[in-house]
Structure 1
Amino acid sequence: MTITRRAALALPLLPAAILPARAQPAWPSQPIRIIVPFAAGVSDNIARLVGAEISKVLGQPVVVENRPGAGGNIGSEAVARAAPDGYTLVLGTISSHAINPAITPRMPYDNIRDFAPITQLSSQPNAIAVPASSSARDINGLVAELRRDPGRPFGTSGVGTSVHLAGALFQQLTNTQMDHVPYRGSAGVTTALISGELPLAFDNLSSVLPFHREGRIRILGVTSKERVAAAPEIPAVAETVPGFESLSWHGLFAPARTPGAIVQRLQREAAAALALPAMASRFAELGITPVGSTPDAFAAFVASETQRWAQVARTANIRLD
Structure 2
Amino acid sequence: MKKLGILSALVLGSLSFGAVAQAPAYPSRPIRLLVGFAPGGAADYVARAMSDALGKAMGQPIVIENRAGAGSSIAAEVAAKSVPDGYTVLIASPSSISVNPALNTKLHYTARDLMPITKLTSSPLVIAANPATGINSIQDLIVRAKKAPGALNYATSGNGSAPHLGAALFIQLTGVQMTHIPFRGGSLAIQSVIAGDTQLTFGTPPSVLPMMQAGRLRGLAVSTRERTALVPGVPGMAEAGLPEYGIEFWYGLFVPAGTPPAIIKKIFEATATAMQQPSVKAALAREGTEVALSPSPEQFAAFLNEDAKFWVKLVKNAGVKLE
TM-score by length of 2: 0.84
Q: Please say if 1:305 is aligned against 2:307.
A: yes
Q: Percent identity?
A: 37
Q: Distance in 2 between matches of 1:27 and 1:185?
A: 33
Correspondence for 2:149:
150
Correspondence for 1:169:
169
Correspondence for 2:37:
38
Secondary structure at the counterpart of residue 64 of structure 2 = strand
Say if 1:243 and 1:26 are closer, same or farther in 2 by CA, change over 3 A.
farther
- 1:124, 1:288 within 8 Å by CA — same for their partners in 2? yes
- 2:155, 2:189 within 8 Å by CA — same for their partners in 1? yes
Say if 1:44 and 1:182 are closer, same or farther in 2 by CA, change over 3 A.
closer
Secondary structure at the counterpart of residue 159 of structure 2 = coil
Unaligned residue ranges in structure 2 (runs of 5+): none
- 1:116, 1:254 within 8 Å by CA — same for their partners in 2? yes
Stretch moving more, 67-76 or 184-193:
184-193
Correspondence for 2:67:
67
1:252 CA displacement? 1.0
- 2:57, 2:273 within 8 Å by CA — same for their partners in 1? no
- 1:223, 1:238 within 8 Å by CA — same for their partners in 2? no
1:184 CA displacement? 5.1
Correspondence for 1:320:
322
1:235 CA displacement? 0.9
Q: Please say if 1:116 is aligned against 2:118.
A: no
1:37 CA displacement? 2.9
Q: Distance in 2 between matches of 1:186 and 1:208?
A: 9
Question: Residue type of the partner of 1:272?
Answer: T
- Number of equivalences: 313
Secondary structure at the counterpart of residue 252 of structure 2 = strand
Question: Residue type of the partner of 1:130?
Answer: A
Correspondence for 1:258:
259
1:115 CA displacement? 1.3
1:84 CA displacement? 2.0
Q: Distance in 1 between matches of 2:196 and 2:140?
A: 18
Instruction: Give 1:15-94 correspondences, 5 Å limit.
Output: 22-23=20-21, 24-42=23-41, 43-94=43-94
Question: Residue type of the partner of 1:131?
Answer: N
Stretch moving more, 64-73 or 82-91:
64-73
Cα displacement string for residues 171-224 of structure 1 (whole angstroms, at most 9, x for unaligned residues) = 112233323233454445434544555443322222222222233332110113
Secondary structure at the counterpart of residue 180 of structure 1 = strand
Say if 1:57 and 1:87 are closer, same or farther in 2 by CA, change over 3 A.
same
Q: Distance in 2 between matches of 1:179 and 1:38?
A: 21
1:30 CA displacement? 2.7
Question: Residue type of the partner of 1:84?
Answer: P
Q: Please say if 1:274 is aligned against 2:275.
A: yes
Root-mean-square deviation (CA, aligned residues, Å) is 2.8
- 1:102, 1:309 within 8 Å by CA — same for their partners in 2? no
Stretch moving more, 195-204 or 268-277:
195-204
1:35 CA displacement? 1.9
Question: Residue type of the partner of 1:27?
Answer: Y
Secondary structure at the counterpart of residue 120 of structure 1 = strand
1:96 CA displacement? 1.6
Correspondence for 1:231:
231
Secondary structure at the counterpart of residue 165 of structure 2 = helix
- 1:162, 1:246 within 8 Å by CA — same for their partners in 2? no
Correspondence for 1:130:
129
Correspondence for 2:297:
295
Secondary structure at the counterpart of residue 125 of structure 2 = strand
Secondary structure at the counterpart of residue 207 of structure 1 = helix
Q: Distance in 2 between matches of 1:197 and 1:188?
A: 11
- 2:37, 2:185 within 8 Å by CA — same for their partners in 1? no
Say if 1:109 and 1:59 are closer, same or farther in 2 by CA, change over 3 A.
same
Q: Distance in 1 between matches of 2:83 and 2:311?
A: 30
Unaligned residue ranges in structure 1 (runs of 5+): none
Say if 1:244 and 1:297 are closer, same or farther in 2 by CA, change over 3 A.
farther
1:20 CA displacement? 5.6
Question: Residue type of the partner of 2:152?
Answer: P
- 1:165, 1:312 within 8 Å by CA — same for their partners in 2? yes
Q: Distance in 1 between matches of 2:193 and 2:88?
A: 39
Q: Distance in 2 between matches of 1:248 and 1:273?
A: 21
Say if 1:207 and 1:68 are closer, same or farther in 2 by CA, change over 3 A.
closer
Secondary structure at the counterpart of residue 122 of structure 1 = strand
- 1:205, 1:222 within 8 Å by CA — same for their partners in 2? no
- 2:205, 2:231 within 8 Å by CA — same for their partners in 1? no
